[in-house]
Amino acid sequence: MDLSRLFKPSSMAVVGVSTTQDSHPANVIYTKNHLRSPVVTYPVNPRGGMLNRETLYPSVGDIDDPVDMAVIGVRAKFVPDVMAQCIEKGVKGAVIISGGFSESGNHGLQQRVADMAREADFPFVGPNCLGIYAPGHMDTFFLPGERIIRPEMGNIGFVSQSGGVLVDQMVKFAGMGIGISLAVSIGNKAGLRETQMLEYFENDLATRVIAFYIEGFGTGEGREFIKTAERCSKPVVVLKAGKSTRGMAAAASHTASIAGDYRIFSEIMKQHCVAEADSEFELASFCESLSCYPKGILGRVGIVSLSGGHGVLATDACAAQEVEVPDIEPATAGVIRENLSPEIRAIAGLNNPLDLTGSCVDEDIIAAVRHLARDENIDCLLALLLPYSPGISADIGAKLSQVARNEGKPVIAYVPNEDKYKIIIEGFELNRIPVASSVEGAVLMVKALKRCRPC
């Protein structure tokens, strides 16, 4: 099934545009894409007429030019007729934002739409969803453009049953500087489901990490998803909802999902190399880390800190996340000491975590990271930087990035997320070194690499 013109269309029909209600979801979608998108956008209303000097087409079939995809925003009972028009017209796919299907008990209506699409090999997203956000190209979310915080173009493909969770996660991604390749809200997933999206992103050159918010699966669907994820060459991250009895009931009323036994599904994900995030914050941290380091590690961390307290906090966080902080070889400690500045050689703590003290300079940090990376007991490094230390320069991010590239082991940095330190953060990010704004966040990035290691 070719989904390229559904997710990256050249033309779009928005069905259900109102002549009297500017805030109608279809109007919001039409206006955003007509005025701000490179996609040619056609408004459709059964009454026809004009809208802001633009022709309103009575049906999709009345549009003279080819239409790649349609956004359907009519009442649920009219959706089958609109879908039939799209199929007859040769439209290549649709987003059904309309609610009132299985989540409201109308299982027969949803099944009718799904059957029509399957017989015509017609892909669609929804119903009961926000649809698709393709950065710089298209936005079918029925949310006013001025209220949405949009991430930049990046390499995270994100699929969510919940439109609200999707939008909220986009806010978090934008705040962390994480870009997305495509974001899709699949709602009741009567059409495209997680497994089909996984297959699409596997072949999408713009996507390096595939993330999901999942409320539940149909019978046998979870097994199919896990098998597909195991074969996938890209890291797969899952935030699973419906873990508790009440959460399962809420999922059923939200998107008519069968949440299933969470404990079994969680254990299966671990066995099949799917990185499960335990929270929205973890999901964002996992995505950032895996977008830079997709291969995964055993999880043996060397910590370099400018503050003993930060080293202790990181060690405790590693223990809580089951990340190992091993002893380093005596030879490693010796060579690091030899390469430190004379001023701190006698006062630096060279156990793991390393405490270089607030008197260190760039060259001390570089020496510690370089030689710690060469220790056979270490497969990932945490650099906890306090940029207000007097000996630290604005170039430390770029300098450590060069060390990371040369040594070939993942380096994850902690730098307070303040404008004053932006040049240091950019020194890492421009060189594809993940940066966390908290010690806990940095440890979660290591956890992601451990969870996504080869099984």
pLDDT tens digits for 66-110?
Answer: 999 999 999 999 999 999 999 999 999 999 999 999 999 999 999
Distance from C-alpha of 181 to C-alpha of 207, rounded to nearest angstrom: 6
Which tokens in the block code for residue 189? 């997933």
Helix 221-231 / helix 194-202 crossing angle, nearest 10 deg:
10
- Amino acid at site 305: S
Q: What pLDDT is recorded for position 171?
A: 93
Q: Which residues of the chain have pLDDT under 70?
A: 244-260, 453-455
What sign for the dihedral angle of Cα 242, 247, 248, 251? Answer: negative
Please give the C-alpha separations between residue 383 and each of 303, 342, 353, 412, in angstroms, as whole numbers. 6, 21, 10, 6
**Structure tokens that stand for 391 in this block:** 């000996």
How high is the pLDDT of residue 455?
46
pLDDT, tens digit, 9 for 90 and up, residues 46-69: 988 888 888 999 999 999 999 999
Identical fold, 149-292 and 295-451: yes
Residue 303: beta bridge partners?
Answer: 382
According to the model, what pLDDT value does residue 245 have? 53
Cβ proximity of 282 and 291 under 8 Å: no
Residues with Cβ < 8 Å from 239, sequence gap 6 or more?
A: 211, 212, 213, 214, 276, 277, 278, 279, 280, 282, 283
CATH 3.40.1440.10 for the 295-451 domain, yes or no: no
> Which has the closest alpha carbon to 212: 154, 264, 151, 165?
165
- Beta-bridge partner residues of 301: 380
For 4, the 3-state DSSP assignment is helix
204 Cβ neighbours under 8 A, 6+ residues apart: 157, 181, 182
The reported pLDDT for the residue numbered 49 is 85
Nearest C-alpha neighbor of 240 from the set 149, 167, 338, 160: 160
| Cα atoms in the 13 Å half-sphere on the side-chain side of 93 | 19
In contact, 158 and 183? CB cutoff 8 Å: yes
- Cβ neighbourhood burial of 137 (10 Å; 0-12, 13-18, 19+): middle
> Phi, psi at residue 438, to the nearest 5°?
-145, 155
Burial class (CB in 10 A: 0-12, 13-18, 19+), 320: exposed
For 3-68, the DSSP string reads -HHHHS-SEEEEET--SS-TTSHHHHHHHHHHHH-SSEEEEE-TT-EEETTEEEBSSGGG-SS--S
User: Using alpha carbons only, what angle is made at residue 361 by residues 357 and 363, rounded to the nearest 5 degrees?
Assistant: 120
First to last CA, the chain: 30
Is residue 126 within 8 A of residue 187, CB to CB? The reply is: yes
Report how far residue 442's alpha carbon sits from residue 384's, in angstroms, rounded to the nearest whole number: 9
CB 11 within 8 A of CB 140: no
Top-tier CATH class for 149-292: alpha beta
Separation between Cα atoms, residue 13 and residue 40, nearest integer Å: 8
| Check whether domain 1-123 has CATH 3.30.559.10, yes or no | no
Name residue 34's amino acid.
Answer: H
Please give the sequence-ordered ranges of beta strands (E in DSSP) within 291-353, or none if there are none: 301-305
Here the tokens at position 228 are 């597909």
* Per-residue model confidence (pLDDT) at position 167: 95
* Domain edges within the chain: 1-123, 149-292, 295-451
Helical axes 396-407 vs 422-429, angle rounded to 10°? 20
Q: How far apart are CA 98 and CA 130, in angstroms?
A: 9
